[in-house]
Amino acid sequence: MAESPDPERDPRWDAVRRAAAHRVPTPPGLVERVLRAVARGRRTAVEVPGEDGSLRVTEGVVADLARTIAADRAPDGVRVSAVAVEDDVVQVLVSVRFGVAADEAAEVLRRETTAELSRQLGVPATVNVHVVDVHPG
């Protein structure tokens, strides 16, 4: 059996190493938003109306459901790293395998996760997918 080449020896991987060597500043307000979300605790994220009343679903439940859906729907070469609900929007962080078209894979995952989450909750959902890392394989 032929040994598969090590992707980290691929010369194109040098661009990833150069990018990783640069310090990325923390976006303005990120720390405050995270602390605010932690302080909020289990805030109701979704209220689903029904015939006999309404069902209140917490952010934690929405995040867990979105994480499961995203992991099940992730295209080949995409790994779900984290999922959170921020200001009623589901934020999905992913890493992609080196060589995968990141923007296309993220858009496919966003569309499919949004559709399935909306279907399961019974109300429209907003999902953002952010590519935050590249992995060798």
The answer to whether position 12 is within a domain reads: no
Domain count, the chain: 1
Give the CATH number of the domain where residue 98 resides: 3.30.300.20
The answer to whether position 35 is within a domain reads: yes
Strand partners, 56: 47
The amino acid that residue 48 corresponds to is V
pLDDT tens digits, 17-43: 777 787 767 778 777 776 676 666 556
Q: Which domain holds residue 110?
A: 26-135
Handedness of CA 31, 112, 47, 67 (dihedral sign): negative
Q: What is the pTM of this model?
A: 0.69
The answer to whether position 91 is within a domain reads: yes
What whole-number distance in Å separates Cα of residue 126 and Cα of residue 55? Answer: 19
Query: Long-range contacts: 34-37, Cβ < 8 Å, 24+?
Result: 37/84, 37/86
Residue 126's pLDDT band, with cuts at 50, 70 and 90, is: very high
For the ranges 1-10, 31-40, 50-59, 63-72, the one whose mean pLDDT is highest: 63-72
Alpha carbons within 13 angstroms on the beta-carbon side of residue 100 total 24
